Amino acid sequence: MELCSDRAVATLEMSQDKSNDDEPFSSDGNYESLPPHVSVTTHMTAGAVAGILEHTVMYPVDSVKTRMQSLQPDPNAQYRSVYEALKKIIRTEGIFRPLRGLNITMMGAGPAHALYFACYERVKRSLSDVIQSGGNSHLANGVAGSVATVLHDAVMNPAEVIKQRMQMYNSPYRGLWDCVRSVTYTEGIGAFYRSYSTQLTMNIPFQAVHFITYELMQEQLNPERHYHPGSHILSGAAAGAVSAAVTTPLDVCKTLLNTQENVALSSMNISGHLTGMANAFRTVYQLGGAAGFFKGVQARVIYQMPSTAIAWSVYEFFKYFLTKQQEQEAGPRPL
């Protein structure tokens, strides 16, 4: 995660509904911001679908990113570019190898994003009622996003650990359940949350940079804040790229904590398992220097840009579709 759909909601709620006939897309004002009567189920369903597609469509690039972040990769797993990596992986390991771990990602992304949206909407609405008497509040959006992120990452972190271990070159696990059993038996349940604090720490600056970049882009591309899919997608993709690049050092540390890369840890004479963000930072620097913190940045940015665009477009479409469907089933609302 990186958590694209959460940033989409926070930003969309700032948009103002336009209803004048001479303004573009004015007839679909509710598409920009869901009306209060829409159920939590709508938010959860739209978010779950967007989250699953966001993580799966660009999954092969995510696999490359994990390998490129290896601090001491096997000679057969050293790549100069994303394209070269995908071509080499498919040629030497099979066409489906870049998709290894996709099953656990889908299993985690659906409920994680559904929980995020349910929590976000409930907390945001409750705080907005107190702070702004029901109006939009930046503080409420920020607090709601932070609380929701804690829940989202609590669900996704175990899935991330399993996914990244299965993505690594020469992964010793035969499949999903073999990985779960092996990690639980050898390292304990805590292994699935070893990078949880790093994940949360990464998401705070990620969301801040994303929000600022998105707003700057919207001021240039969509100053009137009408509903305009193209500007939302373009702004989101640009914001996702900048955020991904800036937070790559934390993502490298998270990958090291998740994979417990044996060759790298052995070269540092680290016995047992590496724990803690500070130890991860120290290990990355000692093995790769400052450049080590930006391993895989190309793949991370290439993954994040279309993923963010997908999350925006899919979430918006399903939000619109489900809202219209509910309105049709309920019939005309009394004045």
* 304 occurs within a structural domain: yes
The answer to whether position 104 is within a domain reads: yes
State the Cα–Cα distance between residues 239 and 69, nearest whole angstrom. 22
| pLDDT value of residue 227 | 65
Q: 79 in the Ramachandran plot: left (φ > 0), alpha (ψ -120 to 50) or beta?
A: beta
Q: Per the domain annotation, does 72 fall within a domain?
A: yes
Question: Domain holding 125: CATH number?
Answer: 1.50.40.10
- Strands of 128-285, DSSP E: none
How high is the mean pLDDT in each 10-residue block of the chain (335 residues)? 45 40 38 54 82 89 94 90 95 96 95 85 81 70 79 93 95 94 94 92 79 78 76 86 94 92 76 84 92 94 88 71 73 61
Tokens of 31: 């598409």
What is the reported pLDDT for 18? 38
Is residue 290 within 8 A of residue 226, CB to CB? The reply is no
Residue 332 placed within a domain: no
pLDDT of residue 231: 82
Q: Is 31 inside a domain boundary?
A: no
Q: Is residue 331 part of a domain?
A: no
Q: Which residues contact 225 (CB under 8 A, 6 or more apart)?
A: 14, 15, 16, 18, 218
CA-based R_g, the chain, Å: 21
Q: Torsion angle of alpha carbons 110, 326, 312, 53, nearest 10°? A: 30
Q: Which domain holds residue 295?
A: 40-315
pLDDT at 31: 38
Q: How many domains does the chain have?
A: 1
98 lies in some domain: yes
* Residue 50 lies inside a defined structural domain of this protein: yes
**CA 123, 126, 128, 134 torsion-angle sign:** positive
Question: Residue 37: what pLDDT?
Answer: 56
